[in-house]
Chain A
Amino acid sequence: MRKLFLAGLLMASSFAPALSENMATSGDAAYNAGDYASAIACYNNALENDGSSSDLYYNLGNAYYKSDSIGKAIISYKRALKIDPSYEDALYNLSFLNEKFNLTDGSDSSTIRFFDGLSKKLHPDGWSWLSIGIFALLLTAIGCYLLSRDTKLRKVSFFSALILLPVLAVLISVTIYSRNKSSRNSDCVVVVPSAQLKNAPTLINSPENEAYTVPEGYTLEIVDSVSNSRNGTSVVWYEVTIDGDKHLWVTASDVERI
């Protein structure tokens, strides 16, 4: 029954591109019916053919979570947050998963946390427009100061400009931070039940080489990647950082880039 439903949806999607917009909606219907496997298939189909949206990634994350793919769920939520870092429900579900499966996201410095917290309040475009607006206000104040012959107005605009300048600096910083966060693609998430982190990019199993085991859903930051070929098969390794300063290696097949 479930497979039939899925097949029907896939067929319907191949009829016309206009219909394919409904793939995401069909996914929602399958999700609400509790058929999470079909929902995942529909959402992925929509992603492939029609593009993405934060809502779509969020729904896909939910469907993955419901079918116990924690790693994939976390990736989906993080992708949703890349599109819209202020997506409250995605933030909630992500923190819910992190807490439930005891996945810590690492601790940042207080400055970064300040910017991080701010960046979650508004879409990056919102920050962009806000900073442009504040800049326009600042320019107006400068203009008034320069041109007005009224001493009172000149005084007000002078002090306004003095206040607006640091505000603008913060806004532009948040905008840049939020933009960088959204466009960074150096993070990856473990998608296998547990990934072995090694000290060197080799498959040699020795006690010295096994440094860490990280659970599914754990986020790692990629620094570099190498491809080691041995016996005709090549294995791609990512150099990742953990706990800030440790540099370790993980096979690319164990993780998925966000």
Chain B
Amino acid sequence: MVIKSLHKRLRSLIMPLYLTLGFLCSYAQVDFSIIPPRDVVAGNQFRVVYRLRNSQGSNWNTPQVSGCTLRYGPSTSTSSSTQFVNGHSSSTTTVDVSYVYIADKEGEYTIPEATVMANGKKLTAQAAKFKVLPADSSVSSGRSQVNVTDPASQYADRPIGKDDIFVRVLTNKNTVYENEPIEVTLKLYTKYEAVTSFSATSTPAYEGFIVEDIQVAPELNAIENYNGQNYRTAILRKYIMFPQKTGRLSITSGSYDVTVQQLQRVNYGFFYSAEPIEKKVKLNEYTATITSQPLPSPRPEGFSGAVGQYTISSTLQPENIKTGEAGTLKFVIDGKGNIKYLNDPEPVMPSEFEVYPPSHEIEAKVSGGTVQGKMTSEFTFVPEYPGKFEIPEYKFIYFNPAKGEYVTLTTPKYDLDVKKGKYIPSSESSSGAQRGAMQKAMDIRHIHAVEHRLSKNHTLVASSAFYWIVYVFMTAILIVFVLLYRQSARKKSNIGFVKEAKASKVAKKRLKDAERALRSSNTQEFYESLLKAMWGYLSDKLHLNGAELTRERVKEALFNNGVEEQTANDVLSLIDDAEMARYTPNLPELAPENLYSKAIAAINKLESISK
């Protein structure tokens, strides 16, 4: 009895019990259930309990468990409890009917359905199954072994062996593909149920893995038969690991310091008792090795790196989009595997779209030895130009390790008809697309594969004397041309001009002859000289030759030269007078002196005009 209570006390040390939880919600609800035994080892006694709550049963029908030997029973125990929660009281009564059996052999047994009459109703408890573990196989040394279910074997006089308490690393697969998840469990096996302290001296080591830690509360639970021995086990840690390398990879448990309790016989003189004493044990590292094999080669182009089982879906919103408005293309990858480490899909977007980096969202949780969840990747894009555009289908390629093959999933292709919106692409934002085009074109220009005309001499026109000679030569040409032109013009108009220039001189000279004749009173000669002087003067002055020298032509020429009519008439009348006086002399008004002075006046007047 001492041992039993002790045992219970020790168990409560390492097992947080939440016993009350189950009763809190139970009002006066009547139920009936079978509580199967735990940790049954062949050859040991165990107890099967039929529990009825909140009623006093009658007509218990509890068929025997076949394959097991009933030792005693039934024994009935009744308990009740009352609780006050927030002023409400609730009470529970429990009736346990228990039978003690012995299992003869290992195996799986079934406790058949049981019925009971309670409150005038027949209640049925579901059949329950339990396992019977084989008894510890004996070792050849013949020495009795520590038995997990037999505290009597846990006395302090025996040393704690390597086989009595140890840590193992368990993996659910031994050969995996790169990135394929493995479930790794660190488990403590102990024959001593009383483990009072447990601390890691070195942490578990796992090189070449990405690790997903699963939270577990270490707790001693089921008895497990390992290597023919029964142990109480506790899951220390649980991981999902994704191998990142290929080859043989090891996972090491780390080492631990453990304190277990043994019993010591104490002699009280009259009786013996057993007292617990603590013993420290160092647990060695345990290393599990797994083989990580590379994904089959060749990897398909566009392989995403995903290993597992996935589905992909995509949605595009909105269907009708205008320039300058934002649209979204959403990919959802759902499945199990290395989902947490997936890269975003890389859809090919038209270069006329301004595409922003995708939002990346992962919801994943550990379940069933792998990581399950979904990854959402949302691309926001803004079309900058109207027109018809196409977002081609995106191929998501993943590796299915169960089948050992690559699987390609394809999302649909989208045709977009972008309408013109209010937005006008600004130079800054459109330069993004242009910059892309620029960068593609960033190289030197191509060679000129022309017909090569090679020359050893590359003299420039400007470096030769010729260039300057051309200037001098052209200037010289101009000068010569000007000179020649002037000369020829002079030649053409020389006589007339000279005559004109000298006209008055010649005329005055002739008038002098006339004056001389006047002084010598030779009137006939005077008139002739006077007329000669006048006609000569007019001929020279007006550039008229002898044949043209008529009264009309002279008059016309005088007018053309801008001579006033009065003056012209004066000149002409002077000539008329002189002609007349030549043939009819002695007219008093045509006196030679008179005509002479008139002629001088006319010439002077014409000279002054022509100037």
Contact = CB atoms under 8 A, between A and B. Distances in A.
Interface of A: 21, 24-25, 28, 31-32, 46, 50-53, 55-56, 58-59, 62-63, 65, 82-83, 89, 92-93, 96-97, 124-125, 127-129, 132, 135-136, 139, 142-143, 146-147, 175-176, 178-179, 182-183
A173 B452 CA distance: 31
B235 to A, nearest CB: 62
B460 A182 contact: yes
Contacts of A136: 474
Given A21-B454, A128-B460, A55 B448 contact: yes
B589 to A, nearest CB: 47
Interface stretch (B100-108, B264-272, B302-310, B462-470): B462-470
B461 interface: yes
A51 B454 contact: yes
A89 B446 CA distance: 9
A28 to B, nearest CB: 4
Contact of B461 (A31, A53, A97, A128): A128
B462 A175 contact: yes
A93 B444 contact: yes
Contacts of B482: 143, 146-147
Interface string B442-482: 11111111111111111011110001001100110110011
A53 B452 contact: yes
Contacts of A59: 447-449
Nearest to B446: A62
B595 to A, nearest CB: 40
A56 B462 contact: no
B462 A65 contact: no
A93 B446 CA distance: 9
A125 B459 CA distance: 9
B457 A51 contact: yes
A139 B474 contact: yes
Given A55-B452, A132-B471, A183-B463, A143 B478 contact: yes
A52 B475 contact: no
Nearest to B445: A89
A44 B314 CA distance: 60
Interface string B475-491: 10110011001100000
Contact of B460 (A52, A55, A125): A125
B458 A83 contact: yes
Interface of B: 442-458, 460-463, 467, 470-471, 474-475, 477-478, 481-482, 485-486
A183 B442 CA distance: 32
A7 to B, nearest CB: 22
A86 to B, nearest CB: 13
Contacts of A53: 452-455
Given A50-B456, A62-B446, 18 more contacts: A21-B454, A51-B454, A52-B455, A53-B452, A55-B452, A58-B448, A59-B448, A89-B445, A128-B461, A128-B467, A129-B461, A132-B470, A136-B474, A139-B474, A143-B482, A147-B486, A176-B462, A179-B463
Contacts of B446: 62
Nearest to B485: A147
Contacts, number: 99
B478 A139 contact: yes
Contacts of B460: 124-125, 128, 179, 182-183
Contact of A52 (B448, B458, B474): B458
B128 to A, nearest CB: 80
Contacts of A58: 447-448
Contacts of B458: 52, 82-83
B497 to A, nearest CB: 14
A178 B474 CA distance: 23
Given A146-B482, A175-B462, A135 B454 contact: no
Contacts of A51: 454-457
A164 B416 CA distance: 62
A29 to B, nearest CB: 8
A178 B295 CA distance: 67
Contacts of A25: 449, 451-452
Contacts of B461: 124-125, 128-129
5 contacts: A51-B455, A53-B453, A97-B444, A128-B462, A182-B460
> Which 4 pairs from chain A and chain B are nearest by CB?
A51-B456, A128-B461, A179-B462, A24-B452
Nearest to A24: B452
Contacts of B450: 55
Nearest to B467: A128
A176 B463 CA distance: 8
A161 B339 CA distance: 85
Contacts of B445: 62, 89, 92-93
A71 to B, nearest CB: 15
Nearest to A51: B456
B478 A56 contact: no
Nearest to B464: A128
B452 A56 contact: yes
Contacts of B447: 28, 31-32, 58-59, 62-63
Nearest to A97: B444
A62 B443 CA distance: 10
Contacts of A50: 454, 456
Contacts of A21: 452, 454
Nearest to A82: B458
Given A62-B447, A124-B460, A56 B454 contact: yes
B475 A139 contact: yes
B462 A124 contact: yes
A176 B461 CA distance: 10
B384 to A, nearest CB: 28
B452 A46 contact: yes
A68 B451 CA distance: 26
Contacts of B443: 96
Contacts of B457: 51
Nearest to B466: A128
A93 B74 CA distance: 104
Contacts of B474: 132, 135-136, 139
A55 B448 CA distance: 6
Nearest to B448: A55
A80 to B, nearest CB: 10
A62 B485 contact: no
B441 to A, nearest CB: 11
A56 B452 CA distance: 7
Nearest to A31: B447
B444 A62 contact: yes
Nearest to B460: A124
Contacts of B471: 132, 135
A187 to B, nearest CB: 17
Contacts of B486: 147
